[in-house]
A = this chain, B = another copy of it.
Amino acid sequence: MTSVQTLDEYYMKEAIKEAKKAEELDEVPIGAVIVMNGEIVARAHNLREREQNAVAHAELIAIDQACRETGTWRLEESTLYVTLEPCPMCAGAIILSRVKRVVYGAADPKGGCAGTLMNLLEDDRFNHQSEVTSSVLERECGQLLSDFFRKIRERKKLAKKMQTDGLTKNDKE
């Protein structure tokens, strides 16, 4: 028998694969998949910088893809897996597409709208609520992000050092 926890971890690993594709493109590593009847109908990763598009978040691309794939804007029987807690835009897209359940990995203290800053997904003033499961493979999802931002900081530090060294060298010449 396959437990819900095992299935959640299985699909979260698929979302993590997507996050790693983002990382390879120097994008913040966030990935998402949408599952309907045990089948992955959409998979996507953050593409904001590459596409220079503010709406190119993993979840939004995945929802857009799932609507196209299934031919309907109602994703009522679906579960969305995402490595990072959804932002307001993605939480809104989840409500609008009536995703049944959202499973996320790491919490987002800066913009998380599925329990951290607020919980748009379970706010009964909207005409749909999604069930939320948090902290699935949290450590692995969070690690991807912290490693990414550490590398960015190191790269910036190195660039600054090279610039300063260059300036000093030029000053001496």
> Does A111 sit within 8 A of B, measured CB to CB?
yes
Interface centre among A56, A74, A75, A92 (most CB of B within 10 A): A92
Inter-chain contact B96/A87, CB cutoff 8 Å: yes
> Does A42 sit within 8 A of B, measured CB to CB?
no
Per assembly, the copies of the chain total 2
Inter-chain contact B48/A55, CB cutoff 8 Å: no
Given A110-B127, A126-B111, A127-B110, verify A67-B55 contact (CB < 8 Å).
yes
In Å, the complex CA distance between A53 and B71 comes to 8
> Does A88 sit within 8 A of B, measured CB to CB?
yes
Q: How far is the CB of A39 from chain B (nearest CB, A)?
A: 19
> Does A93 sit within 8 A of B, measured CB to CB?
yes
Inter-chain contact B64/A52, CB cutoff 8 Å: no
Point out residues on A near B: beta carbons under 8 Å: 48-49, 51-57, 60, 63-64, 67-68, 71-75, 87-93, 95-98, 110-111, 113, 117-118, 120, 125-127
Inter-chain contact B92/A67, CB cutoff 8 Å: no
Inter-chain contact A53/B48, CB cutoff 8 Å: no
- Which residues in B have their C-beta under 8 angstroms from that of A60? 55
| Residue from the list B48, B67, B88 in contact with A88, Cβ < 8 A | B88
In Å, the complex CA distance between A95 and B52 comes to 15
In Å, the complex CA distance between A60 and B89 comes to 10
Q: How far is the CB of A24 from chain B (nearest CB, A)?
A: 20
Inter-chain contact B111/A117, CB cutoff 8 Å: no
Inter-chain contact A67/B53, CB cutoff 8 Å: yes
In Å, the complex CA distance between A126 and B88 comes to 10
Q: How far is the CB of A126 from chain B (nearest CB, A)?
A: 6
